[in-house]
Structure 1
């Protein structure tokens, strides 16, 4: 049964009208933009000025960061002494951009510098002892980590033993004991640095700024990409970095970035935080997910247009392969998850699943089943390795922390973890995890909250509204894109798109206009949503689609939900046992059919006879109308008075008169002529033979005899039909059974022969009339 994925929470907090007026007048803002600023805590005029129009003063003094002076001094010494410096990065988009920023900066300063990106499948995340040993053996005397390092005690200790200095620049959560690095540049260690949420690329950019003693404008593009990709807070200095960086991207001469944007079928002026977050960053991430991420640095730093084009094509191809892998593994994981319906935490183990995409798969399964999910695969060493994603209210890190004795490797935070365990310990691991879930009080089925800023209609989506919203961009963490709830009159043009038909496209119809909508990942719900086409509400953000020189606004859907009572159209010509397994109240018009089907209902369900039902004094969660009513008024009574969250219509009718229709006057004339020649015949024994002789279907012939009998044209005694001599003249249509058949045919046409849309429109008109 279709339902929303989130609990919608409309922001109804009042906004101070005077503050709205002040901000609106001071900055020339539309009322909506001023309201949103206030709702998000931006009320001070000076703060709003910097929020809307950041300047270079929003890029803070890099020397306030912990150990920045030591770091710069050691790097300058290495450059002066022609030491071999290695920038040790990470394989995700933030790590690649961090590495590129510092690598380029040191090259420009004349340093003897190279870079090393650890391989996810060989080195793992962060400083690796074997990797450090290899670098030092090759001549490196100074290692600078970017986007990693604070958890690298073992590797850094080993480097010192081999006479190599290590500078750490990082932004990840600090461990209880810091590594013995020669310097650690980290905002959380910097009491005088007012902004703590820099990404790895942001920290690398601050080091580059201090090294060059000026803001390296040409590196802002990389800083922006890393900041967006790593989902850090888009407020304060990060907001300035991204806004400045987007301006640089729009004018970039960086061959690799231009080529990547072109391969993504984008134009430079169109690139914004959403295009980076959903297209550019995933493409960069895919390199490290599928193999060595080192080509990503070459792509970002090359000066050769041909090399850039080649690497950009390879990157996009790798990203497509990653997408296909995710789709394939997700389908397999879904099947495993469906077999674990009783488990509070899903532990899904596959054979030869690609390690690089297991975190994405875990996220998708978590969203679909609303349960914490761990996705693991076998490794060459016989261990199981993978990733986990949690749901709100369940700390996955703390749930696994007590199980460290079962784990070979483990790390992460409340909502996401990575782990490795021996396969022979899997059963014990699952048991302990279930126990921990119970101890934490994991509430299954609890949906995450979706904050809604405003309720609007499709008619209110205008250029003015869109432009008002854009004043608050760039959007991201802590400055989300405004969320709207829309209740269209209807949804039209609903169809699946994408290679695997995994997404949906449709139109939201208002009173004056319709607006397009895209719902990513909702393809499997196509059938359900078609049943709700005129009873749907939509939550989403407003975007702009530019195609072939035309601009259209569209809603990027975050959630869909029934707008009121759900009426499911499941009309059927055949009843099977599976249709009575869902827990519900099953309503019957025919007592015999109720008696016949009652044994098929599950123990939690109820069978109810229309003649005995009291719709005025009870409510139903799910009411299933099983069979066809004897008269239309009976169904009208149910639809007008039954208080049910969901009504499902089977409307089963064993014999459908539409297939037989109403006998024609010519057929009645044939029967009358036959009776003139043979005034007596046996109905039971001769009906089929007579039907063949007259070319009339036997059931229709039986009905015709019934009409003749009612009108006094014939009599029937003990199954023998006798023609009446000189019968009274009467119209066929005056027979009660004739009129009843016409009524029955009209009912069938209305209830069984109508389209889904026609039926829904009629049923909802009954509810509307009742409410009026």
Structure 2
């Protein structure tokens, strides 16, 4: 069984309303797409037409931004007076593209301009007082911040004291106290009249360039598109226009740096999409700032030298691979920690480690959230007793609010609903974890259940056509507030299941209905390939995903990018096996063991969402709550019946593993017993603890059989065993071997094998069904 991560809210857009059908006719689009637009608020023909046809006329007047005129006049004054202008940027993809936009714009206007990208580890985010002072000493006479500044009160005050003005261009949340900057250009400035507040840092920089040039700066649309997609701002309104035309420029981009970067990433410019930016270009630009100095990213974006571009792109690719390796290594440790005894039952997680690279901890936190569904803080503990890291959350839990009331536990803190950054004394990690648990209770996190997932409609495989894909593509570019439509498939058979990728990280399978097939891929779900339920022809599988165009060696095929997956098993599944593997222990549920040695070997391999139960004949009180996995074969069929009667699981998956079949081995023969009896009569002080292999070879009796026979002899009083030393008993009492408990147990085990292991699947299912009714 595979439990879905989300609650699916199916909107049935394939059953359009009359209003949506009218909109479809008016705009010459499919009724399905019209219903999606209607559901997203584009309910008039004019609104739908504008959305479907992004154009430059939809860009707002940049002078409506707060302090735009004032800021531009100060920049123009600096240009006219040949003052040194320093663009103070940020180290992420939005920050470096913002920097590049204004650097190129001011350069073209003849400004004396340079840029400074703060170092994540030494300068931190935003205006840094020491960095400002160094830059002023080096000759800076005007600062223009991009993608930061609204929280830089101290550094900006220091610049003012030194007689240096600061023009802030930013888009982040505005603090209660704004800095005393010369100008603050911000789309959500209190009382401002700008019609769209969702610009990225690169978007604000683009508007500044537009105001300075008094025309649309088409040559930096590519940079604006990268920053907009990378920063996950809403892809609607003005941002939609920037990305739409920015992608067109990227497809024929002449920037040597971007050409080299895309080549290294294996991206074909002619087939570039917003996903190419989000998963190809942006992570590589981010990698530089995550691991080291991000300034080379601006050089890469702005250089006109092909040789330099190749070198910078190569460095960027190396940093990205290093970033990937770090994320993989730290994520493995973090996920193990998330499932240990100290974290397993917590509703929110505080995970820490030593020598974890702080630049990638936000990515690691996201991976833990994805795997566990729990809000997570991931921190690196330094030798000086300081823990620094990042946190990520789920929609049902406001992480910023949860931590905001516990600032006394932290030395630095900032963020928003879904993401935070923080520094904590390492001796406060325990109290911080407890505080987070309390906040989870206050926000009723555990009662919220899985997050909702909007699903456009339920489709059949044969409905996935090129025509449908082309219609859906009219809604692109996709992103925040303009999600790619998702579709559910509930009646298809799942075939050709396998794990793919270098480390078998991803899951690939095929949906099949009749003669129609659709390939499907789910990133990061490779372990599911070994889950018995997914491979069971009797399982009921439902899939939600986005329809995409897969291009391989010039050939286009449609495929489903899976967002969520659920597999329901029939009440009883015959999954009998002679070999246990890790893939059998991936699903949540209750894993029942009948033998302690097998329990001890496997209990640590179970996922965090599972529980292990060892049956020892006593009444079981555990709540299965779902699937019961019968791991090994019991000694008696009655034990199994008692377990099923007591637990009453919703579903049963029977592995019924047994290492060696006693029924096939059979009972020892009279000749074998006689051979052993004769041996113990003539040999004393036999070290059966260490010489069993030699004894097996000497008597020519299989090991399992010989151990059983010695136990029977011991129970019948034919031999004594003391500290592993076996001696025959002189003149033992006559006793029937069948009276020995081990002999009776062997007979019982052999009958159980006949009942459970050697029977047909139909007979097994019938036997397991009976106690459940």
Match of 2:59 in 1: 59
1:276 CA drift (Å): 0.7
- Residue 210 of structure 2 corresponds to residue 209 of structure 1: yes
1:489 CA drift (Å): 3.5
Residues 584-733 of structure 1 aligned to structure 2 (within 5 Å): 598-599=615-616, 603-605=620-622, 621-623=626-628, 645-651=650-656, 656=661, 659=664
Match of 2:567 in 1: 562
Match of 2:17 in 1: 17
1:335 CA drift (Å): 1.9
- Residue 539 of structure 2 corresponds to residue 538 of structure 1: no
Match of 1:770 in 2: none
Residues in 2 aligned to 1:688 and 1:239: alpha-carbon distance in whole angstroms: 89
- Residue 168 of structure 2 corresponds to residue 151 of structure 1: no
Structure with the greater alpha carbon radius of gyration: 1
Change (3 A) 1:178 1:315: same
CA deviations on 1:119-152 (whole Å, 9 max, x unpaired) are 0000100011011111111000100000110011
1:13 CA drift (Å): 7.8
Is this contact kept in 2: 1:531–1:569, CA < 8 A? Answer: no
Match of 2:520 in 1: 517
Residues in 2 aligned to 1:496 and 1:419: alpha-carbon distance in whole angstroms: 37
- Match of 2:103, SS state, is helix
Is this contact kept in 1: 2:569–2:651, CA < 8 A? Answer: no
Change (3 A) 1:183 1:380: farther
Residues in 1 aligned to 2:35 and 2:42: alpha-carbon distance in whole angstroms: 10
1:206 CA drift (Å): 0.3
CA deviations on 1:588-645 (whole Å, 9 max, x unpaired) are 9xxxxxxx98426784248xxxxxxxxxxxx9843556759999xx99xx9xxx9964
Match of 1:389 among 377, 392, 406: 392
- Match of 2:475, SS state, is coil
Is this contact kept in 2: 1:84–1:141, CA < 8 A? Answer: yes
Residues in 1 aligned to 2:757 and 2:27: alpha-carbon distance in whole angstroms: 64
Is this contact kept in 1: 2:148–2:171, CA < 8 A? Answer: yes
- Residue 73 of structure 2 corresponds to residue 73 of structure 1: yes
CA deviations on 1:669-723 (whole Å, 9 max, x unpaired) are xxxxxxxxxxxx999869999xxxxx999x9xxxxxxxxxxxxxxxxxx99xxxx
Residues in 2 aligned to 1:311 and 1:749: alpha-carbon distance in whole angstroms: 67
CA deviations on 1:713-754 (whole Å, 9 max, x unpaired) are xxxxx99xxxxxxxxxxxxxxxxxxxxx9x969983744xxx
Residues in 1 aligned to 2:154 and 2:614: alpha-carbon distance in whole angstroms: 70
- Residue 282 of structure 2 corresponds to residue 281 of structure 1: yes
Q: What runs of 5+ residues in structure 2 fail to find an aligned partner?
A: 595-612, 679-699, 705-734, 737-750
Indicate the larger mover: 404-413 or 199-208. 404-413
Match of 2:7 in 1: 7
- Match of 1:139, SS state, is coil
CA deviations on 1:145-181 (whole Å, 9 max, x unpaired) are 0011001111100000011100000111111111100
Change (3 A) 1:454 1:600: farther
1:10 CA drift (Å): 1.4
Is this contact kept in 1: 2:533–2:569, CA < 8 A? Answer: no
Change (3 A) 1:684 1:141: closer
- Residue 413 of structure 2 corresponds to residue 410 of structure 1: yes
Match of 1:748 in 2: 758
Residues in 1 aligned to 2:202 and 2:672: alpha-carbon distance in whole angstroms: 91
Change (3 A) 1:278 1:586: closer
Residues in 2 aligned to 1:22 and 1:584: alpha-carbon distance in whole angstroms: 53
Match of 1:111 in 2: 111
1:115 CA drift (Å): 0.4
Q: What runs of 5+ residues in structure 1 fail to find an aligned partner?
A: 589-595, 607-618, 662-680, 690-694, 700-717, 720-740, 752-758, 768-772
- Match of 1:157, SS state, is helix
- Match of 2:298, SS state, is helix
Match of 2:233 in 1: 232
Is this contact kept in 2: 1:15–1:39, CA < 8 A? Answer: no
Match of 2:510 among 507, 510, 531: 507
- Match of 2:132, SS state, is helix
Q: What TM-score comes out, normalization by structure 2 length? A: 0.79
Residues 243-392 of structure 1 aligned to structure 2 (within 5 Å): 243-339=244-340, 340-379=343-382, 381-392=384-395
1:510 CA drift (Å): 2.1
Residues in 2 aligned to 1:231 and 1:549: alpha-carbon distance in whole angstroms: 30
Is this contact kept in 2: 1:362–1:375, CA < 8 A? Answer: yes
- Residue 476 of structure 2 corresponds to residue 473 of structure 1: yes
Is this contact kept in 1: 2:33–2:472, CA < 8 A? Answer: yes
1:523 CA drift (Å): 1.8
Residues in 1 aligned to 2:619 and 2:421: alpha-carbon distance in whole angstroms: 41
Is this contact kept in 1: 2:13–2:36, CA < 8 A? Answer: no
Residues in 1 aligned to 2:634 and 2:327: alpha-carbon distance in whole angstroms: 46
Match of 1:609 in 2: none
- Residue 429 of structure 2 corresponds to residue 426 of structure 1: yes
- Match of 2:412, SS state, is strand
CA-atom RMSD, angstroms?
Answer: 3.9
Change (3 A) 1:532 1:627: same
Residues in 2 aligned to 1:76 and 1:258: alpha-carbon distance in whole angstroms: 33
- Match of 2:405, SS state, is helix
Match of 1:450 in 2: 453
- Match of 2:520, SS state, is strand
Is this contact kept in 2: 1:628–1:653, CA < 8 A? Answer: no
1:343 CA drift (Å): 2.5
Change (3 A) 1:53 1:601: farther
Change (3 A) 1:425 1:58: same
Is this contact kept in 1: 2:2–2:533, CA < 8 A? Answer: no
Residues in 2 aligned to 1:482 and 1:582: alpha-carbon distance in whole angstroms: 29
Alignment size in residue pairs: 671
Change (3 A) 1:443 1:191: same
Match of 1:463 in 2: 466
Is this contact kept in 2: 1:354–1:377, CA < 8 A? Answer: yes
Residues in 2 aligned to 1:630 and 1:348: alpha-carbon distance in whole angstroms: 44
- Match of 2:238, SS state, is helix
Is this contact kept in 2: 1:387–1:419, CA < 8 A? Answer: yes
1:24 CA drift (Å): 1.9
Change (3 A) 1:544 1:13: closer
Indicate the larger mover: 336-345 or 99-108. 336-345
1:519 CA drift (Å): 1.0
